Every structure is written in C-alpha cells, then in structure tokens.
Amino acid sequence: MTAEAPAFKPASSIELQSVTDSKITGVSLYSSRAEITRLYKFGVKVGHNQVNISGLPNILETESLRVEGRGAATIHDVTVSKAKGEHVPATSSPELATLLTKRTATASALARCEKSLVSLDQYLSSLTVEHLEVSKLQSVMENYDSTGEKLDVRKADLTEQLRLIDAEIVLEIARIAVPHENDKLRVKAAIGVFAEAASDVEIALIYAVPLATWTAFYDIRVDMSTKEDPITLIYKAAITQNTGESWADVPLILETSTPTFGISIPQLSPWNLSFNHYAGLKSRAPSAGFSSEMKKEKDSRRYRAISSGSEDSDETEGGEPLGVRDASVTSKGNVNATFRVPGLVSIPSDGEAHNFTIVQLNLQASMSWVSVPKVDTKAHINVNAVFRSHSASRLRGFTGANHQRFRIHALSGTASVYVDGSFISRSEVPPVSPKESFDCPLGVDPSIRITYHPVIKKLSRSGFYTKSVNYVFAQRITVFNTKSIAVDRLKIVDQIPASQNAQIEVKLTNPALTLPAQSNAGGSSIKGAPKAAAPQVLNVARGVTAQWDGVDEPDCAVEALGLDRKLNWICTVPPQGKMNLTLEWEVTVSPTSAQVLGL
C-alpha cells in the first residue's frame, strides 16, 4: 500500500503594526538622515511564518533596510511595498447623535414657521368685502403685521441656529473621521520566517530615513575674573525630524560624519597632443571618450546604506551631573566622532527643533582684545581656544575609574556668548578637530575706552638748489581700562601712509621700527646675502611693545612685514589705568610744486 503524502500546511500569517507592536531601541542621527532600529517580539509556529509589518515610514530608503533575527528561526526573504491609503468611514459619537437630534428639531420648527407665514398670507388674500366690514379692516391689518413680524423674527432665529448646528456637525465628523493609518506611515514589510519549533522570536528592522537632521550650536561663557580656564563651552545639538514616526523614549547617538554617496576613485582620461588640421574651423566639442567617462562616473554614484552604530554599544554613558547631563564621546580616529545623548529622549515628528546638551567643556583658551581706532574705537574681545583631549573623569557627567581620553570634535555652528553672566553677542564656531585651535570673536568690551585724537600736522621747507617740502605728523591714542582687573594682550592697530612714487618719501619716526629689508646690508636678493632679520619688537613703555602688524600671525612672512605700513602696539593696561600711545611719521616731497594725494 502506498503511503499518503503529508497534508500541506499553509504559512502562518502574523500581522504587526509597527508603532504599537514594536519599540525603537536605537537612533543614530547623521547630518541629513537617521538610522532607526526597531525591535519586534512575537510568537511563531512550526514551519513557514509570514510576518507582515505595516505602518513603516513612507520615506524609508528601501536600499538601507536590513533585518536581523534573534531566536530559533531563520529569515528567508524580505519584501517592501506601499499600502493603499484607505480610511475608515466616520463613526458615531454621543456628541454627533445629540447634534443630529437637535438639528432635526430645529429644522422642523423652521418648517412650521415658514408654513405659518404662508398660511398667514393665504388668509389675508382670502378676505373680501362681503366677509369683512370696513370698520374691522384696520384691526385685521394690525394683527397681520404683528403676527407676521413675530414669525419673521422666529424664522431668522431658527435659520441661524440651524447654520451653527451644521457647522458643529461638520467639526464633529472631522474629529471622529480618523484615518485607518497615518498617511506618512504606509510602507509595509513582508518577512518570511521559518521556525523548527514553536517559540518566541525577536526581529530587528534597521532602516534609514531622510528628513531628520541635527546641527551643533554652543553657549560660550566667559569669566573675566579668573585666568585659569576662563572659557566654558557648552556643546548643544538642535535635532529636527519629520519622518512620520515619533521617537519616544529612545537612546540617541549623534554622528559627526556624513554618509558617503559615492566612493569610487576618479579616473584620469587620456590627454593626447596632436597637430590641429582644422585650424580655420571652430573648436570642436570634447571627445566622446571624455564625455563617456564623465557619464560613467556620474552613473556610478548610488546610495550606500548607512553603517550600523551597534558596535559602539559598550561606550561609556554619562552619569549624574551638576545641572546638566553630558553625553559620552567616542572618537573614531581623526575623521569623525559620535555623541551619545544621556538618558532616553523623545522627539516628535513635527519638524521643529528640539535642543539637547551634549557636553560641557572648560577650554584651554587665551583672551585678547583688538581695536582699530582709526576706523572704530571699540575694543573687540577675541578668544583663541584649543579642543584638547579630555579624560572621562574631566568630562562632566562621566562616572567610573577608567581614564580613557576622549577627543572632542566640533561642528560649525552659532554660539551665544555670555561674559560674566550677561549675553553680549553671537559668534560662529568653525569646524574644529581634536588638538586644533580656533579663533572666536566674543563681541565688544565696553569697559575699555579708546580715544583717537585729531592728528597734528606740521609743515617745513628745506634745500637750496633742490627744494623739498617736509610734513611731520603726530597721532595720539588714549586707552582707559575701567575694569577692576588688568587687561593683558590689548592690541591697538594703526597705519602710516605708503608711498607709491619715488619723489615721495615716508619715514616712521615713532615707534622707531625698521623694515626687515633694511636690516640686510647687501640686499636679500643677492646670492649669499644674509636672510631677513628676526621680526623687530620694541619696548616703547612699561607694558607696551610695538611691532609691525602681522608678526604674531602663524604664517608670518618676515620679508613682507611693514610693506603695507601697518603696525600695532601690544599693551597691558592696569586696572582703572590709562596710557597714551604716540605714532609719528614724516613725509618728504620734492619738488615742492608737486601735489600729493592722500595727505
């Protein structure tokens, strides 16, 4: 006898709604997109199970979707599709029932009122001389007017009531006519799961979505009363997402890197030379080979899935802070870094910016003041800070005994500057790598008052055979520090004119700075001549040095100093102290009849 084949068992169907039947276990947020990890827990039967997950974001990037199974089951296939946007008809509600009943009663009353008006007109039209005495005509007409007026007022009142009831009904229907699913969550995923035994399994869906971003911004707080780490930088993130699904109580990782959209190495096309046999013709278009290469390069660019951030799950997390909780920081070489926002965060899908503090740092920084009083007598504060490495024990909010050092990366962003607790300006922080310094203007310091006095000019003539005119100029600058502490590194920048003609000679007399080229007896252009001397720095008074402008720049070219005739003083002004700076120069012109422009 032939054995019968076992009966075919159809696949078990499991229906899951993404929002209600799963939880987001991780969000890695990049500058232009986010990688979401959702975890689903459900039971499977022996054999093939068809898991249908609905309610995924419409903007889900299909190429990025991957599925990870956890449990005694095997994932066979994954299919992604878009569901139809069907809506459930409006259902009844107690409020709607009451409104409909009220509308029926009001409409009936309005109909009776209108019928009464018609009947009143018909009654008046039916009256004739035979039936009505003339003496009673006035009384009948008065009753007609009085009754008709009451009915008209009643009709207008009922009509307005009916309009208001209809408006309330429309609002109530719109309130209860809830869509079957969010219009932004209509993507479905069908996953085939084979199980050898009935059990509970977990499936993690990892996918990327655009319309999610974060930008860095900062608070810079300056304590003018201390010289040790006077600058505190609070690193913050403004997070915006409009993906269609809300992130409720999720662990959030911020990535400073940008996903790559094309990593192919560019190729050089052949570059050949030949004689032009068509010299008289118009130039031809680029060769087809070159265009083909460019097209291939363009076509080769495609989206690559964002790499998973799950391998960073052992990063140190922030502990309890003083005022704020700070993020843990993980360096990934010198290219990018990640910030784990402490705790769990909730960010709705509303397209609005939600702000979080990443970390608070005391920067290794030095402050200076700069003024160009010839243009503006205000003193501008500038800070030069270094993004140094920090140990876990130095970062606020970290716990544990390990002293692993973290490298902080800064993205470009706007900074709100507070000096001694008062907001004074907004500035821009450039992108900064670990151990890199950056300059950041902090605004104007009103406690330093600078006066740029009118220039004093004297004229004299000299020479017996060759007449020349000699102009002597003196410029005085007064600096007053109203602070209760000294101001170090105050730079005052000024200039003298530069001659563009051999008949005009300009000489700086005070401070007595010389040009580096004048220090070379034989001239620096002659082979074997000595190189330009070291930049000249003159002590002109106690706490005041003079130098050519640009000496303290990192890319200073010594041989070019003073060519633009700009110089500066570096001053240390005592508390409540004043100091005077003097700039003097001479201009000699020959012949005397020449007119000089710019004096």
Q: What type of residue sits at position 42?
A: F
Lowest mean pLDDT of 182-191, 317-326, 406-415, name the range. 317-326
H/E stretch holding 495: strand 487-495
C-alpha to C-alpha distance for 474 and 476, rounded to whole angstroms:
7
| Residue 137, both tokens | 């005509």
H/E stretch holding 118: helix 94-126
Bigger pLDDT: 285 vs 60:
60
Bigger pLDDT: 408 vs 21:
21
pLDDT, average across residues 572-596: 88
pLDDT, average across residues 453-462: 87
C-alpha to C-alpha distance for 591 and 433, rounded to whole angstroms:
58
pLDDT at 6 over 60: no
Cβ pair 446, 558 in contact under 8 A: no
First to last CA, the chain: 123
Lowest mean pLDDT of 252-266, 494-508, 551-565, name the range. 252-266
pTM, full prediction: 0.59
Predicted confidence (pLDDT) per residue in 124-164, tens digit: 777 766 666 666 777 877 888 888 888 889 999 999 999 99
pLDDT, average across residues 541-558: 87
Q: How many CB atoms lie within 10 A of CB 112?
A: 14
Q: Give the three-class secondary structure for 362.
A: strand
Predicted confidence (pLDDT) per residue in 310-369, tens digit: 344 333 333 333 334 445 555 444 446 678 888 899 999 999 999 998 888 888 888 899
DSSP string, 554-584: TT--GGGTTTT-EEEEEEEEPTT-EEEEEEE
C-alpha to C-alpha distance for 35 and 64, rounded to whole angstroms:
9
The reported pLDDT for the residue numbered 161 is 93
Predicted confidence (pLDDT) per residue in 8-30, tens digit: 466 789 999 998 899 999 999 99
Cβ pair 253, 27 in contact under 8 A: yes
The reported pLDDT for the residue numbered 278 is 54
H/E stretch holding 299: helix 288-299
H/E stretch holding 545: strand 544-548
Exposed e or buried b per residue across 398-430, where buried means at least 16 C-beta atoms within 10 angstroms of its C-beta: beeeeeeebbbbbbebebbbbbeeeebbebebe
